[in-house]
Amino acid sequence: MQTLAILAAKLSSSILRCFGRGGSLPGSIALKIDDKILNKLEFTGPIILVTGTNGKTSTANMIADLLSYAGYKVISNRKGDNLKAGITTTLLTNASLSGRVNATACVLEVDELNVRHILLNIPVTCFVVNNFFRDQLDRAREMEQLIESIEKVLPDYRGDLILNGNDPNVVRLSLKAKHSHCYYFGMDMNAYSMQNTNEASEGKFCPECGSKLVYDYYQYSHIGKFHCSQCDFKTPDMDVILNHVNLNNQSFECDNILYRQPYMGMYSMYNCAAVLMVAKYLNISDQEVKKVFSNAPQPAGRNERFEKNNQICILNLVKNPTGANEVMKVIETDDTDKTICIVLNDNEQDGTDVSWIYDTFFEKIMNEHTKSIICTGCRGYDMALRIYYGGYKGNITVVDTIEKAIQTSFSTHLKVYAIATYTALLPTRQMIVKEMGL
C-alpha cells in the first residue's frame, strides 16, 4: 500500500502540473490508499514545523531559505498547502517509491488545527510557534479550543520547541511538552512598547492557575512581557531577543549585530526573531541570516507595492483583528492624502463570521489624509457600516464588484491602499495589475 500511495501521489501531481495546477489532491488520494503513509517515510536531517496565527508562511519560507543558504537540500510547502493533505503532497512528491524523502532538511508550514495530524506522524526535530490570536471563529472556534488541540499531542512529542516567549498563549505549550527542550525568542522593551493597550488581548489570564496576568509592557495586542499575579508563570528567559528596534528604517539588533528586516511592522520582526532562533539552534551564521533578510521576496498582499506613472497602490491581506490592526498602524504612519479600498468577503476560507471587523481599529485610518473609503466584496455594506459607526466624516462608497472598486479608487488620482480578505486578495491584485497596466 505504501508504494501504491506514493505512486498515486506522484502520478496525480504530474497530471495536475500538465494543466498548470497544483494543490493537495495528490496527498488526499495517497491518504485514501494508505492513511498511515506519513509514518512510513524515511527522513535525513532536520524537520522543522512552523505554525501560528499570523506570519507562519513568511517565517517558514525564510527558514527554508536559511537552510538552503547553509547548504541543506530543502523541501518545503512554500505555496501554503498547510493542511494534512497538502503536507502529504509535498513529502510524497519528493520521495522515492521506497518512502525515502529526497532532502537533507524539511521545512513545513502547518495550519494550527492540523498540528495534531502532523506532529507525531513524522519525526519533527523542532516545532516553531509564532503566536496565537482569534482567527476564523466559525472554523477554528475559540482560540482556547485551538490551543488545546495542540496541547493534547505535546505529551508524546520528543522533539524541541521554539516558542515566542512574549506570547503567553504560546509559552503555555511548554507546560505540556514534558519531553521537549524549549527555546524562546522575543523582543525587548523599545520606543514602541506600551504600558497599556486597548487592542484585542487574548492573553489576560494565567494558563496554569487562571489568575490575572500582569504586563510590564505590551508590544502589540497581548504580546509583551508578562507575569502571573499569583503563581510563577511568566515571560521566560530569552535565547534570542531583539533590541534597539527602529520601525522607521525596519532595523533591530540581536547579540550586538544590526539587521534589517524585509517586511514592515513590529509583528514581522517576530518572524525574523524566529528565523534567528532557528539559525542559533542549527549553528548557522549571522551572515546567512542577513542574506535571508536581504533576499526575502515580498509575499503577495503583504504590503505589496505597485507603482506606475505616478500612481501608487499598496495591497494588504487582512484576516483577523490583530493582523488587521498592524496593517492599520502602517497606513496610519503615512501622512499623504490617500484613498482606501476595502474588500470584505465571508467565504469559507475567509471565515464566515466577520464580527472581527468590530475588533479592528479602523479608526486609525479615519483622519484628514484619508479622503475616501470604498467598500466592496460579499460583505461590502457591512464594512461600510463599520466605517460609518467608527465616525468617519469623509466619503464612503459601496460598489458591487472589485473591478469597479479599483477603478473608482484610481479615479481619485491619490495613493491607494487596498485591503482584502483571503478570497478577495488574488482578484483584487489582478484588478490592480490590470488597471495599472503592469
Q: What is the 3-state secondary structure (H, E, C) of 377-420?
A: CCCHHHHHHHHHHCCCCCEEEECCCHHHHHHHHHCCCCEEEEEE
**CA-based nearest residue to 69, from 346, 284, 351:** 284
What pLDDT does 362 receive? 95
What pLDDT does 130 receive? 96
Contact yes or no for 120/153 (Cβ under 8 A): yes
Which runs of consecutive H residues, i.e. helices, occur in 198-307?
266-281, 286-295
Which residues, at least 6 apart from 13, have a Cβ–Cβ distance to it below 8 Å? 22, 26, 89, 93
Average pLDDT, the chain: 92
Q: Helix (H, G, I), strand (E, B), or coil: what is residue 294?
A: helix
Predicted model pTM: 0.85
What cell does 58 get? 513568511
Q: Strand order in 160-164's β-sheet?
A: 74-76, 105-109, 47-51, 126-129, 160-164, 182-187, 240-246, 251-254, 257-260
Residue with cell 495546477: 21
For residue 10, report the phi and psi dihedrals to the nearest 5 degrees: -65, -45
139: pLDDT confidence band, cut at 50, 70 and 90? very low
Q: DSSP state, 194?
A: B
Q: How far apart are CA 159 and CA 48, in angstroms?
A: 10
Cα-based torsion angle of the residue sequence 171, 177, 181, 185 in order, rounded to the nearest 10 degrees = -20
Of 25-29, 147-151, 289-293, 346-350, minimum mean pLDDT range: 346-350
User: pLDDT at residue 248 above 90?
Assistant: no
- Give, in order, the Cα–Cα distances in Å from 328 to each of 183, 353, 370: 31, 20, 12
pLDDT tens-digit series, residues 342-387: 999 999 888 888 988 998 999 999 999 999 999 999 999 999 999 9
Q: How far apart are CA 358 and CA 247, in angstroms?
A: 27
pLDDT tens-digit series, residues 38-85: 999 999 999 999 999 888 999 999 999 999 999 999 999 987 789 999
| HSE value, Cβ hemisphere, 13 Å, CA-based, for 434 | 12
Task: Over range 385-411, report the average pLDDT.
Answer: 96
Q: How far apart are CA 99 and CA 176, in angstroms?
A: 31
What cell does 166 get? 512574549
Which residues, at least 6 apart from 203, have a Cβ–Cβ distance to it below 8 Å? 167, 168, 169, 213, 222, 223, 226
Q: How far apart are CA 11 and CA 17, in angstroms?
A: 10
Contact yes or no for 220/267 (Cβ under 8 A): yes
140: pLDDT confidence band, cut at 50, 70 and 90? very low
What pLDDT does 267 receive? 85
Q: How far apart are CA 266 and CA 247, in angstroms?
A: 7
Query: Could you give the angle at the alpha carbon of 82 between the alpha carbons of 3 and 341, nearest 5°?
Result: 150
Q: How far apart are CA 40 and CA 162, in angstroms?
A: 26
What pLDDT does 386 receive? 96
Task: Report which secondary-structure segment, H or E, holds 134.
Answer: none
Q: How far apart are CA 321 and CA 127, in angstroms?
A: 25
Q: How far apart are CA 45 and CA 155, in angstroms?
A: 23
